[in-house]
A and B are shown apart, each in its own frame.
Chain A
């Protein structure tokens, strides 16, 4: 029997509330010591056939569990061969799971993405340069020297853009970090995507965190913001043990997962 795994929780008790997962199957706990793996039984069909509803059902189960337990979300499409397969995985990862459950207890994840007006900022840097470089223009450059000069201008521009990006990110992060236990930041994943960050926030600080976001948002006219959460702590589960069974379980922002397939979540629904 194939078991689809949703999350590891900090309880070995059965789930009282009926929760239904993939293919409408009721989920249950496979207990191991003081924790458990939440699974549901899968039919014989391919999981690709149910991917669209499946990802949302998977997330729905994880969020319902999050209300009552500390959860370590498991990647969609993580399937084990029967209870024995699940228990073998639990045995193998017990210490890691225990450490993560303790660390992530009572915490949730929020995502923040920021698009900055990179064209406008680039233009302002170029204009400032033009003013200050007027006196130093040398009209008699050879093609080789002109090439070097153009390259050097591009280099200075990209360095200056990076500096400005760092400054904006530092200011924003200073506010968000006040209410966060942990964070992961990615700078300039594209030219326009200034910041792609996830923050781990204690449940009783969610309001403060949101308030800090609103403050930053209102202070940055011309920037575009996306705020998401609370999510299970997808990006903060750190497994030190490395085996094939969980090798392909990178934690990712739910937003990233959803937009992998645009048909899955129409943008009007976001």
Chain B
């Protein structure tokens, strides 16, 4: 059996690695069963919380970039975002989750983050 289409590259291992990496970050389903339902649900909830946190952070950065925040507002935002980030880290540790676990495959829309 021969396949006439060719794959040409000097770096096959690296491309295989990259494609696996891009697929690995996209869990097809929330992993919830009686043994690990807590972790499965925590993963879903923390993914959504982290998405909102990152959106907030990005919006804050845009406002910093635009120069529309006062010194006091920057100070307050910094405190809020830092606390949010620290709290997320604690929750991830409690449920044994890594950054790369906090993602969802949205089918044709691609990955959530």
Contacts and interface: CB of A to CB of B under 8 A. Distances in A.
Interface in A63-80: 63
Contacts, number: 111
Residue of A151, A228, A254 with most partner-chain B CB within 10 A: A151
A255 B19 contact: yes
A229 B5 CA distance: 5
B8 interface: yes
A77 to B, nearest CB: 16
B61 A228 contact: no
Interface string B52-74: 00000110110011000000001
Given A227-B8, A259-B20, A262-B20, 6 more contacts: A56-B1, A60-B3, A224-B10, A224-B15, A259-B19, A270-B9
B25 to A, nearest CB: 8
Interface string B77-89: 1110110000000
Contacts of A155: 58, 61, 65
Given A152-B65, A193-B18, A225 B9 contact: yes
Interface string B6-42: 1111111111101111110000000000000000000
B2 interface: yes
A53 B77 CA distance: 57
Contact of A144 (B15, B20, B21, B78): B78
B78 A115 contact: no
B5 A256 contact: no
B99 interface: no
B9 A189 contact: no
A270 B81 contact: no
Residue of B13, B18, B79 with most partner-chain A CB within 10 A: B18
B22 A145 contact: no
Contacts of A225: 9
A224 B22 contact: no
Given A63-B4, A152-B64, A227-B8, A267 B22 contact: no
Contacts of A115: 11, 14-15, 18
Given A152-B64, A255-B19, A270 B3 contact: no
B7 to A, nearest CB: 4
A145 B78 contact: yes
Interface residues of B, number: 37
Nearest to A260: B23
B9 A226 contact: yes
Contact of A151 (B3, B6, B23, B61): B61
A229 B6 CA distance: 5
A143 interface: yes
Residue of B5, B12, B13, B77 with most partner-chain A CB within 10 A: B5
A59 interface: yes
B20 to A, nearest CB: 6
7 contacts: A144-B82, A147-B78, A193-B19, A193-B22, A250-B108, A267-B16, A270-B12
A226 B16 CA distance: 10
A146 B79 CA distance: 10
B75 interface: yes
Contact of A224 (B14, B21, B79): B14
Interface string A248-265: 001000111001101000
A148 B78 contact: yes
